[in-house]
Structure 1
Amino acid sequence: MGDLARLLKESWSLVEEHQDKVAGYFYARIFLSHPDLRDLFPVHMDVQRSRLLNAIITAVQTLEDPEKFDDYLRALGRDHRKFHVEPEHYEVVGGALIEAMRQFAGEHWGIEYDQAWADAYAVIASKMLAGAEADTNPPYWYAEVTSHERRANDIAVFTVTPMQPLEFRAGQYLSVECPRFQPRLWRTYSPANAPRRDNTLEFHVRAVGAGWVSSALVRRLEVGDMIRLAAPMGSMNLDRRSTRDAVFVAGGTGLAPIKSLLEELTRYNRTRWVHVFFGARTRDDLYDLAELNRLAARYPWLSVVTACSDDPTFPGEQGNISDVVARYGPWNEHDFFVSGSGPMVKATMRTLAELQVPSVRIKYDSFS
């Protein structure tokens, strides 16, 4: 696997700065050679354009970690069932991938790179197919919206009830489609609750810019509407064997998976101190603070610290949440769970590295 990984990384370095063009060419080749496949993809390809390609690259980058490689690809195969992907589609995708990379790599591309990607993609496809074939669940679940509440101008909290049981673990995320408004456009969101007997799931969503899906979920979704949910993914889960105290760091609606983990802890925790750091730009963005404070009042092992980065009148902590975490501690004996935007997670990871928190004790969920 060592030589293969080296060849893949070398060849990827030839096209990395052109990856947007690679992605565009990649889809163009697929749609030109197999026009019927265009119906599997959303009308708006602005986000989707790089997702499949990025998934393949992520898989390649985990080649040297066989267990992670296998788990990631089997989960990816299960997830892609929502697109109605058939086994014969994998060959089309593999050919388009290699042709797109060859097109933009220039004169340094060689036959050994062709073979390396063909070999790697064969393994990727076989593991994804195995994951899809082993999954006994439906490719997606229909779920009815049973409540919908606007917590801020651009934030909504809503609850759905799947029509069939949907098993997931606290801290995982699911792909969500709103077929009434944006068919075939899927975005990932984490439930804000642990699995419940009534099978309901709560989601916290912020409308991001001109986000097709997030705007529909926040501004147009109504009670009674149906959405679709795909297979749960992600590994930001609690280890019940750990006896270490825990720190949860959430930015904005990154609070959702943190609340899911907290709900699981309320069912069994008696010995671990848990510290929640919840940061936002302004106090209005601390949209679920009242519920967090109720939890802290009920469970003596839980403490909550809030911060605003752009609200001088806020009476709590001031500054980015990563900097606020650094003012407390020490933390090098704690388990960490971090969830928020990409920049927020990166800043927090840098802070934790400076504080000498071992990386094996940090789990994170990053979204943009």
Structure 2
Amino acid sequence: MDYQITLEPSGQSLRVRSNQSIVEAALEQGIAIHHGCGNGSCGDCKGTVLAGDFEQLPFMPLLLTPDERSAGKVILCKLQPRSDMQIRAQIDTPELWEGQIHALTQLAPSVMEIRLQMDRDYPYRSGQYARIVVPEHADTWRSYSMARPPQHDHSVIFHVRAVPGGSFSDWLFHRAKIGDKLQLSAAQGDFRLRQDNERPILCVAAGTGLAPIEAIVQESLDLGWQRPITIFFGARKRQDFYHLELLQEWGQRYPHFRVIPTLSDVEDHEWDGARRLLPTVAQMGNWQGHEAYLCGSPGMIEAAIDLLLSHGLPSSQIHFDSFTPNG
């Protein structure tokens, strides 16, 4: 069954099937509804139900506060209609930036760093991500976090993991070359360094979830903060680690900074460091009173949130960005 959905304040309307999300239908019908991941992990597609019945499918915990839920806030990429509806939702005026590949650096067998020289200033905050048009697939986008704070030279850096069947990573690892051009959307996301407190910082990163964590930590170091910073960096296999030398260099330069790499490969008997990301986080401290920044897969993020809540850390001090590889 189809339902009539009216989007306010734009007044645009669309037809949505009962087994279809609002975001999915809007994009299918050429309406530039504001969204990010499309899988209930980022919260960029928050909207407000003004009238009508619906089913809210599961999404990442903490995306909506109790007050937001009471006010009718919903996650539109996980919202299916059960009647005609009226919804307040942000409609974007598409603006694209163009970046030219300035450098490609393989950081690990499965991780490529791509440095873009943008055609003009690209405004973003440390921790945010950009949606990138996949070359050769003009209607396909992929989202990647910026891996360092904003620079004055109009350059942007991303860390991209090779994903089997991934349309963007396959192009990047096998066909991309210096000088190729990419189109980027405006920066998105609310994952960013909070500067309104002086709490010590806890960071938990898995794989290329290190990218926005690096940007956030680098910003705090650039600000000259002396509050303790702890990064737990998890990888499946030792070859998946990257930028460990950079993180260890920070540990030598800044007494308040430490990094704990963790490995989940139980067959690597030569590894003498910490094993398994979240059990190590649980064992190495009581994190009450910290400001926590998490980035990795949805499963890791959910487990980390549960862990930190059990340590007495309030949800308002837990910030995260989760990602699901597109294969």
TM-score past 0.5 threshold:
yes
Which residues in structure 2 correspond to 1:35-46 (within 5 Å)? none
Shift of 1:255: 0.1
The CA distance in 2 between the partners of 1:307 and 1:356, in whole Å, is 24
- TM-score (normalised: structure 1): 0.68
Query: Which residue does the alignment assign to 1:59?
Result: 47
Paired residues, number:
285
| Deviation string, structure 1 residues 194-225 (Cα, Å, up to 9, x no partner) | 00111211110112221112222233222111
- The structure with more strand, counted as a fraction of residues: 2
Query: Which residue does the alignment assign to 1:10?
Result: none
Shift of 1:182: 2.8
Shift of 1:166: 0.6
The question of whether the paired residues in 2 share the 8 Å contact of 1:23 and 1:49 is answered with no
Shift of 1:330: 1.5
The CA distance in 1 between the partners of 2:216 and 2:72, in whole Å, is 25
The CA distance in 1 between the partners of 2:284 and 2:204, in whole Å, is 12
- The structure with more helix, counted as a fraction of residues: 1
| Deviation string, structure 1 residues 209-253 (Cα, Å, up to 9, x no partner) | 211122222332221111111111111111222111101110000
Matching residue within 321, 334, 340 for 2:290: 334
Unmatched segments (≥5 aa) in structure 2: 1-16, 49-55, 57-63
| Deviation string, structure 1 residues 294-351 (Cα, Å, up to 9, x no partner) | 22222222101000001332221012x1111111112101110000111111121121
Specify whether residues 182 and 288 from structure 1 end up closer, same or farther in structure 2 by C-alpha distance, changes over 3 A only. Answer: farther
Shift of 1:161: 1.0
- The answer to whether residue 129 in structure 2 is matched with residue 173 in structure 1 is yes
Query: Which residue does the alignment assign to 1:324?
Result: 280
Specify whether residues 259 and 210 from structure 1 end up closer, same or farther in structure 2 by C-alpha distance, changes over 3 A only. Answer: same
Matching residue within 294, 314, 319 for 1:363: 319
| Deviation string, structure 1 residues 162-205 (Cα, Å, up to 9, x no partner) | 111111000111101233x3322111110100001112111101
Query: Which residue does the alignment assign to 2:205?
Result: 250
Specify whether residues 55 and 360 from structure 1 end up closer, same or farther in structure 2 by C-alpha distance, changes over 3 A only. Answer: closer
The CA distance in 1 between the partners of 2:37 and 2:318, in whole Å, is 30
The CA distance in 2 between the partners of 1:69 and 1:222, in whole Å, is 47
Query: Which residue does the alignment assign to 2:299?
Result: 343
Query: Which residue does the alignment assign to 1:212?
Result: 167
Over the matched positions of the two proteins, sequence identity in percent amounts to 29
Query: Which residue does the alignment assign to 1:22?
Result: 20
Query: Which residue does the alignment assign to 1:153?
Result: 109
The CA distance in 2 between the partners of 1:207 and 1:69, in whole Å, is 39
Flag the structure with more relative contact order, 1 or 2, with Cα contacts below 8 A and sequence separation at least 6: 2
The CA distance in 2 between the partners of 1:51 and 1:143, in whole Å, is 27
More divergent stretch after superposition (56-65 vs 151-160)? 56-65
The CA distance in 1 between the partners of 2:247 and 2:170, in whole Å, is 25
The question of whether the paired residues in 1 share the 8 Å contact of 2:44 and 2:188 is answered with no
Aligned to 1:65, the other structure's residue is in SS state helix
Shift of 1:50: 6.4
Shift of 1:153: 2.8
Specify whether residues 363 and 200 from structure 1 end up closer, same or farther in structure 2 by C-alpha distance, changes over 3 A only. Answer: same
The question of whether the paired residues in 1 share the 8 Å contact of 2:133 and 2:140 is answered with yes
Matching residue within 300, 311, 315 for 2:272: 315
| Deviation string, structure 1 residues 13-45 (Cα, Å, up to 9, x no partner) | xxxxx97x5369x75x997xx7xx59x9xxxxx
Aligned to 1:176, the other structure's residue is in SS state strand
The question of whether the paired residues in 1 share the 8 Å contact of 2:237 and 2:263 is answered with yes
The CA distance in 1 between the partners of 2:95 and 2:319, in whole Å, is 27
Specify whether residues 233 and 176 from structure 1 end up closer, same or farther in structure 2 by C-alpha distance, changes over 3 A only. Answer: same
The CA distance in 1 between the partners of 2:127 and 2:259, in whole Å, is 19
Q: Which amino acid aligns with 2:275?
A: Q
Q: Which amino acid aligns with 1:315?
A: D
Specify whether residues 140 and 271 from structure 1 end up closer, same or farther in structure 2 by C-alpha distance, changes over 3 A only. Answer: same
Specify whether residues 69 and 216 from structure 1 end up closer, same or farther in structure 2 by C-alpha distance, changes over 3 A only. Answer: farther
The CA distance in 2 between the partners of 1:30 and 1:238, in whole Å, is 31
The CA distance in 1 between the partners of 2:81 and 2:107, in whole Å, is 45
